[in-house]
Amino acid sequence: MSRQILCLPGDGIGPEIVTEALKVLDTVKERFSLDIEVSHALVGGAAIDAEGTPLPAETLKLAKQSDAILFGAVGGPKWDDQPMTNRPEKGLLGLRSELDLFANLRPAILFPQLAEASSLKAGLVAGLDILIVRELTGGIYFGEPRGVRTLENGEREGYNTYVYRESEIKRIAKVAFEAAQKRNGQLCSVDKSNVLEVTALWRELVSGMADDYRDVELSHMYVDNATMQLVRKPKQFDVIVTGNMFGDILSDCAAMLTGSIGMLPSASLNEKTQGMYEPVHGSAPDIAGQGKANPLAQILSLAMLLRYSLGEMAAADAIEQAVGDVLDQGLRTGDIASEGCRLVSTAQMGDAVVNCL
Amino acid sequence: MSRQILCLPGDGIGPEIVTEALKVLDTVKERFSLDIEVSHALVGGAAIDAEGTPLPAETLKLAKQSDAILFGAVGGPKWDDQPMTNRPEKGLLGLRSELDLFANLRPAILFPQLAEASSLKAGLVAGLDILIVRELTGGIYFGEPRGVRTLENGEREGYNTYVYRESEIKRIAKVAFEAAQKRNGQLCSVDKSNVLEVTALWRELVSGMADDYRDVELSHMYVDNATMQLVRKPKQFDVIVTGNMFGDILSDCAAMLTGSIGMLPSASLNEKTQGMYEPVHGSAPDIAGQGKANPLAQILSLAMLLRYSLGEMAAADAIEQAVGDVLDQGLRTGDIASEGCRLVSTAQMGDAVVNCL
Ligand SMILES: CC(C)[C@H](C(=O)O)[C@@H](O)C(=O)O
Ligand SMILES: CC(C)[C@H](C(=O)O)[C@@H](O)C(=O)O
């Protein structure tokens, strides 16, 4: 039976970069004789425009039936006036939650060809390779109660709930410990346990699991310090595990340290091997439709999809190799451009990867 | 009538660096004929050890009576086993709350003499001067309900509440708009309004105030993007305003960009001119008692105290000038040491500032 990939291009540069990733998929399908079927659906602002909702029932149904989802990006100023419950982001958050994609893996890797692109001094980031494991279906993103109420004195008050239960903490910690075992054996758990009870429980439970992973060296850091340490000495980290909101902040910070946020893919996995794969960067509405976007994060997301959800290691490796090759050839989109390199468009970059395959 | 300063050295390196700041205070008292009385009290771990509580009633009473508080730092592994309600940090949080010190001003400034200390490339940070305005008495730090409960299935669940009401948002935004007016007229408000209702209310209310400050250019950023932008291009910011938790993270990130976190003071003010002044760095238990700590952030906190709470501008200017002079002389504590400079102890650094006065 053929495997099903659902394509959700979304908004902004999403459609452009997904188009390039699909060119690459066609090529590896042929080269590695993969039996993969691709379907398409609407999500985010595009779905609001067409159907009035960021996550149409048909999209969710297709998502649940698929083996893996290739996701572009959602959001943009066009939908800023949507009520909170109908924003483009709700499409993304709804998929994460409905498919129980609790484990978000965000590698922050410095591509040696792009060493100069980092804002940090070269010595601090050369060879940087951090994996951020972010809990993705709980915490303050999904906690209830939430909303805006009017107080007795007539003032409005906004409120959200930051909540984690034992089983949620343990299952993401397990993913992180296991990832650390396969890497350099170091895990740093990030919390604010000196102030927030929910993260004190987090620290207690993660600590309690350390005995089951004696080959992993576990440390803990407060989130404010972790952000500082990322800037000060990023190579001290191997794997970082943290909750949804701190993970949102830390993973963007780590990605930016590499100077190549247009290059970084991510995977969101559930207990089965089902997963959603998307670039770490967003929908970049300011450059949408201009052929300027860097499709490499999307293409590398496809590689992660082939590796984690379809088990097609050779195809995944080939794509990553091809991306390395186009960088070696000096091809660059605007976001990673530097002197002496050749500036190319989104489509030219995609074609170049195809040619290297 | 003489003005009252309450000294709360706290834990770790707190006592050492406060000692140096008090030497400096004695000197400016004499030179500028200031009528200031200094009293001392216990807070944090030191207060737990002596009295069983991080904020003894006597300390709080003295704090309320004082015109300003010079605060060192609190916390350390020694008190890690204290229950959440009795941690050293509760001394600090209790003072902020009881004195209604809602406006936390955290300048992130690159000292030209320390340009090399930043992990960022020199061009990106030369002349960096950002002011972070952090709300300090609300948000998830103080929101109720909070705690850990046991669910019906026997699992434990931790929870905290992120809450802001209209008046809290408006009063901190006012401080930030006014600060921007006195600086470069740019204010960036940081939230996560695409996900959190409480911060959507924040964005709405801050936007609504823009008309009253037509000389200020207001922008908004999501917290994940703001962290990236701080790393990517920090000089795009002038004043940043945000809530308690995001402010904790962003201010440490911004401070670290300067490479001189041992140099950065902060002020926490209420609606009167009463304030608490403390270094941005923490209690650094690993180097406590070794004469290695950098006292300059504490000394610059004293300068802020004299300026904001006592209105002694000349004395404040003189201290800041003296700190610049010792840096010009090439004196450095370990945290800011670089080749060709003279490594000095905590006390030697304090003495050097006194000599320059
Ligand atoms: C678009 C937004 C809801 C999302 C998040 O905050 O999780 C994004 O920032 C991300 O990190 O994937
Ligand atoms: C010590 C801790 C409670 C405190 C905070 O989180 O506010 C500190 O990190 C700070 O930034 O002043």
The answer to whether the CB atoms of A252 and B225 lie below 8 A apart is yes
* Placement of tokens 């004789």 in the chain: A33
Which residue's CA is the closest to the ligand 1 atom numbered 1?
A89
pLDDT in tens, A297-320: 999 999 999 999 999 999 999 999
A156-165, B115-124, B235-244: the lowest-pLDDT one: B115-124
Answer whether B319's CB lies under 8 Å from B353's CB. Answer: yes
- Has residue A162 got a pLDDT over 90? yes
Partners of residue B160 in chain A, C-beta under 8 Å: 161-163, 196-198
Task: Kindly give the pairing relationship between strand B103-109 and strand A217-222.
Answer: unpaired
In this prediction, residue A338 has a pLDDT band, given cuts at 50, 70 and 90, of: confident
C-alpha pair distances (Å), A326 with each of A20, A113, A296, A343: 14, 10, 10, 12
Answer whether A224's CB lies under 8 Å from B248's CB. Answer: yes
Tell me how far apart the alpha carbons of residues A313 and A216 are, in angstroms, rounded to a whole number.
26
Are both B250 and B342 inside the same structural domain? no
Question: Which residue from A158, A202, A282 is facing B164, i.e. has the nearest CB?
Answer: A158
Closest atom of ligand 1 to A92 CA is 3
Which residue among A257, A279, A310 closes a domain? A257
Q: Answer whether residue A110 is part of any domain.
A: no
Partners of residue A227 in chain B, C-beta under 8 Å: 227, 249, 252-253, 256
pLDDT in tens, B71-112: 999 999 999 888 988 999 999 999 999 999 999 999 999 999
Ligand 2 mean position, distance from CA A107 (Å)? 29
- pLDDT, residue A213, reads 98
The answer to whether the CB atoms of B232 and A166 lie below 8 A apart is no
For residue B202, how many other CB atoms are within 10 A of its CB?
30
Which residue's CA is the closest to the ligand 2 atom numbered 2?
B89
Tell me how far apart the alpha carbons of residues A326 and A336 are, in angstroms, rounded to a whole number.
13
Three-class SS of residue A318?
helix
What is the domain range of residue B280? 1-111+261-357
pLDDT in tens, B6-26: 999 999 999 999 999 999 999
φ/ψ of A156, rounded to 5, equals: -90, 155
Are both B66 and B152 inside the same structural domain? no
Written as six digits, the tokens of A161 are 């709930």
- pLDDT, residue A116, reads 85
Q: What is the DSSP string of B250-319?
A: HHHHHHHHTT-GGG-EEEEE-SSS-EEEEESS---GGGTTTT-S--HHHHHHHHHHHHHTS--HHHHHHH
List all residues whose CB is within 6 A of at least one atom of ligand 2: A 194-195, 224; B 75, 89, 92-93, 248
Are both B3 and B62 inside the same structural domain? yes
Q: Mean pLDDT, chain B, as a whole number?
A: 96
Q: Which of A95, A137, A142, A248 to mutate to test the pocket of ligand 1 (most atoms within 8 A of CB)?
A: A248
Helix axes B223-232, A244-257, angle to 10 degrees: 20
Are both A214 and A160 inside the same structural domain? yes
Task: Kindly give the pairing relationship between strand A103-109 and strand A129-135.
Answer: antiparallel
Which residue's CA is the closest to the ligand 2 atom numbered 6?
B248
Q: What is the pTM of this model?
A: 0.96
Are both A64 and A155 inside the same structural domain? no
Q: Answer whether residue B121 is part of any domain.
A: no
C-alpha pair distances (Å), A299 with each of A26, A159, A351, B198: 12, 38, 11, 36
Q: Answer whether residue A121 is part of any domain.
A: no
Tell me how far apart the alpha carbons of residues B30 and B36 are, in angstroms, rounded to a whole number.
10
Q: Answer whether residue B117 is part of any domain.
A: no
In this prediction, residue B139 has a pLDDT band, given cuts at 50, 70 and 90, of: very high
| Nearest of A40, A56, A46 to residue A5 by alpha carbon | A40
The answer to whether the CB atoms of A155 and B167 lie below 8 A apart is yes
Q: Answer whether residue B33 is part of any domain.
A: yes
Q: Which of A190, A191, A193, A195 to mutate to test the pocket of ligand 2 (most atoms within 8 A of CB)?
A: A195
Are both A215 and A246 inside the same structural domain? yes
Are both A1 and A100 inside the same structural domain? yes
Are both A141 and A244 inside the same structural domain? yes
B192 is catalytic: yes
Q: Nearest CA to CA, how far is A225 from chain B (Å)?
A: 7
Which residue's CA is the closest to the ligand 1 atom numbered 7?
A248
Written as six digits, the tokens of B339 are 């080749």
Answer whether A230's CB lies under 8 Å from B228's CB. Answer: no
Question: Which residue from B93, B165, B253 is facing A228, i.e. has the nearest CB?
Answer: B253
Which residue's CA is the closest to the ligand 2 atom numbered 5?
B248
pLDDT in tens, A228-250: 999 999 999 999 999 999 999 99
Question: Which residue from B84, B151, B233 is facing A197, i.e. has the nearest CB?
Answer: B84
Element (H, E) at A4: strand A3-10
Question: Which residue from A120, A200, A225 is facing B119, i.e. has the nearest CB?
Answer: A120
Are both A33 and A49 inside the same structural domain? yes
Three-class SS of residue B32?
coil
Q: Mean pLDDT, chain A, as a whole number?
A: 96
A141 is catalytic: yes
Residue B228, ligand 1, Cβ within 6 A: no
- Show Cβ contacts of residue B146 under 8 Å, excluding neighbours closer than 6 positions: A196, A197, B159, B160, B161
Which residue among A257, A273, A306 closes a domain? A257
Are both B245 and B233 inside the same structural domain? yes
| Total number of domains constituting chain B | 2
| Nearest of A47, A74, A28, A350 to residue A3 by alpha carbon | A28
Q: Answer whether residue A62 is part of any domain.
A: yes
Tell me how far apart the alpha carbons of residues A320 and A302 are, in angstroms, rounded to a whole number.
10
* Placement of tokens 């805006």 in the chain: A148
Are both A201 and A299 inside the same structural domain? no
- Has residue A134 got a pLDDT over 90? yes
Residue ranges of E strands in chain B: 3-10, 36-40, 68-73, 103-109, 129-135, 147-150, 156-165, 186-191, 217-222, 239-242, 265-269, 275-279, 331-332, 342-343
The answer to whether the CB atoms of B200 and A75 lie below 8 A apart is no
Ligand 1 mean position, distance from CA B238 (Å)? 25
Q: Nearest CA to CA, how far is B334 from chain A (Å)?
A: 15
**Closest ligand relative to B95 C-alpha:** 2
For residue B144, how many other CB atoms are within 10 A of its CB?
8
Cβ burial of B292 (10 Å; 0-12, 13-18, 19+) is middle
Which residue among B230, B257, B284 closes a domain? B257
The residue-averaged pLDDT of B283-291 equals: 95
Residue B118 carries which side chain, given as an amino acid letter? S
Partners of residue A207 in chain B, C-beta under 8 Å: none
Tell me how far apart the alpha carbons of residues B205 and B355 are, in angstroms, rounded to a whole number.
49
Output the known binding site of A for NAD(+): 76-89, 282-294
pLDDT in tens, A47-92: 999 999 999 999 999 999 999 999 999 999 999 888 988 999 999 9
In this prediction, residue B1 has a pLDDT band, given cuts at 50, 70 and 90, of: confident
pLDDT in tens, A22-58: 999 999 999 999 999 999 999 999 999 999 999 999 9
Are both A246 and A216 inside the same structural domain? yes
- pLDDT, residue A1, reads 78
Q: Answer whether residue B53 is part of any domain.
A: yes
A29 is catalytic: no
Provide the CATH number for the domain around residue A227: 3.40.718.10
C-alpha pair distances (Å), A274 with each of A164, A199, A253, B7, B42: 23, 28, 27, 58, 55
In this prediction, residue A120 has a pLDDT band, given cuts at 50, 70 and 90, of: very high
pLDDT in tens, B235-279: 999 999 999 999 999 999 999 999 888 999 999 999 998 999 999
Please confirm whether the linkage preceding B56 is cis (ω < 30° from 0): no
Q: Answer whether residue B116 is part of any domain.
A: no
The residue-averaged pLDDT of B130-142 equals: 98
